[in-house]
Amino acid sequence: MFNSFFKKNKTDSSDNSSKKGLVKEEPILMYSIASSYVYLDSLCSIAKELSYERLGTATSIGFPNVIDKYVFTLNDKIFCEIFIYPYHNENQNIIPSTFKELNPNIDEDIFVITNKGRYRYLIAIAELVLTKKGDTDGLNNLWNSEKEILLKKLLSDLGYEDELERLIYDKFKEIQRDIPEITKIDFVNQFADNFHNKKLIPYTPLFIQDRNRKLLSAYDSIVETINRIQAWLDNELIRKRIEIITLNTNNENSLGFSTINNCITPFCFITLGCDNYGRFNLSYGIDSRILNMVPDNMASTLLRRIYEFTPGELEPFVGFVSLSMDCIAYFENSLKDVQNENYRLIEVKRNEEKSISDMLSKLELRDDIDEETKKWSKR
């Protein structure tokens, strides 16, 4: 959808210079600082262990503005340095030679934005908002219709409208009152550090907040389904589960994903998470040996309930991890942390009846069926 974020230039992309991007005399040419971050994140997609950080700036003959210098690490060891000139009239999609050595088969398709969680949209949006408002210290300061279109596309892709734009500029003015000398680039980085994942939840549009509430309700309903299944199981271990609530803790992973709630059993797990932009999502996994722990009809009920509780607009925000997970190992490893304040070990009491049919037969023999049914409905 956002291939236009990078203006493809066939002449540039076919540049065979082995030094392109690796020396300050031949930097990668980018349209803006925002484009630079998207470009760098795209390079990170080549290898899981790649990461980068900004080292500072450099100067070179033939370039009127400063050149940004970044260092890439691979498995925590310095991999290479990359130089970017973010004041060009268009973006270059060039893969430096050192990155091609990691995977000779990679091509410019890595610059197609598909994995939203891995790209620094907040930095890009914050930069564009300040440029639009005329606060451009050190930023690419020419506002035009192309940037207007880009800003709208980025906001739309995140499911935001004007709320995020207003938040960015209000926070900038607020910080500027306390720190008049703050540079715009420092603010952009500070905003991205402080307003993401769970920190952004209160500022999401109303329709996202409504969807978040529905996903939280779906999570609770699925956990209740797990609870009812466990109550019919004979094995004490399988009737145990760990529930983790981490809404108020800082627990993001490398992909920018925060956990809100987590329910872990020996036969399955369900996680309620939050992405970079304050949007909830559900993920779940099933142990490969579930039918050795849970009757077939109950396992089927669990999967069916997950689908039933997450219909329509919720469906795109539900992710299935695997049908062949080792949930037993996951559960046992999590047991080591049950002393943490966010962890809770729950041991479900076994129903008195031996089976559901046994329960129903007892109900049929009673005169006070209605009262008995009410009692079970409250469980």
Spatial distance between the Cα atoms of 195 and 175, rounded to a whole number of angstroms: 14
230 in Cβ contact with 239 (< 8 Å): yes
Give the mean pLDDT of the chain: 79
pLDDT for residue 250: 56
pLDDT for residue 83: 95
pLDDT for residue 306: 93
Residue 173 has pLDDT above 50, yes or no: yes
pLDDT for residue 146: 77
Residue 268 has pLDDT above 90, yes or no: yes
Residue 370 has pLDDT above 60, yes or no: no
The residues facing 69 across adjacent strands are: 56, 83
Q: Which residues of 364-378 are buried (b: 16+ CB within 10 A; e: fewer)?
A: eeeeeeeeeeeeeee
pLDDT for residue 282: 92
pLDDT for residue 14: 41
Of the two residues 180 and 222, the one the predictor is more confident about is 222
pLDDT for residue 324: 73
pLDDT grade, residue 267 (50/70/90)?
very high
Give DSSP secondary structure letters for 83-123: EEETTSSS------HHHHHH-TT--GGGGS---GGGS-HHH
39 in Cβ contact with 29 (< 8 Å): no
Q: With pLDDT > 90 as the criterion, what percentage of the chain qualifies?
A: 32
pLDDT grade, residue 117 (50/70/90)?
very low
pLDDT for residue 194: 73
pLDDT for residue 116: 39
pLDDT for residue 15: 45
Distance (Å) of CA 127 to CA 55, 105, 147, 267: 19, 33, 11, 46
pLDDT for residue 377: 43
Q: In Å, how far from its chain's centre is CA 41? A: 14
Of the two residues 119 and 285, the one the predictor is more confident about is 285
Residues 192-240 pLDDT 10s: 777 767 778 887 888 888 999 999 999 999 999 999 999 999 999 999 9
Residue 60 DSSP symbol: -
pLDDT grade, residue 114 (50/70/90)?
very low
Q: What is the largest CA-CA distance in the chain?
A: 95
pLDDT for residue 342: 84
Residue 123 has pLDDT above 50, yes or no: yes
Q: Return the closest-CA partner of residue 168 out of 133, 219, 220.
A: 133
Q: With pLDDT > 70 as the criterion, what percentage of the chain qualifies?
A: 79
* 322 Cβ neighbours under 8 A, 6+ residues apart: 285, 286
Residue 13 has pLDDT above 50, yes or no: no
Highest mean pLDDT out of 11-20, 22-31, 36-45: 22-31
* 373 Cβ neighbours under 8 A, 6+ residues apart: 363
Residue 376 has pLDDT above 70, yes or no: no
* Region for 159 from its dihedrals, namely left if φ exceeds 0, alpha if ψ lies in -120 to 50, beta otherwise: left
Q: Return the closest-CA partner of residue 92 out of 14, 1, 2.
A: 14
pLDDT grade, residue 48 (50/70/90)?
confident
Element (H, E) at 262: strand 258-264
Residues 276-310 pLDDT 10s: 778 898 999 999 999 999 999 999 999 999 999 99
pLDDT for residue 120: 59
What mean pLDDT is predicted for residues 139-162? Answer: 75
Residues 68-111 pLDDT 10s: 999 999 988 999 999 999 877 777 878 999 998 888 888 877 77
Of the two residues 205 and 328, the one the predictor is more confident about is 328
Q: In what order do the strands lie in the sheet with 318-325?
A: 318-325, 280-287, 268-274, 258-264, 240-245, 343-347
Q: For residue 217, what are its two tokens?
A: 């309700």
Its pTM stands at 0.57
pLDDT for residue 195: 72
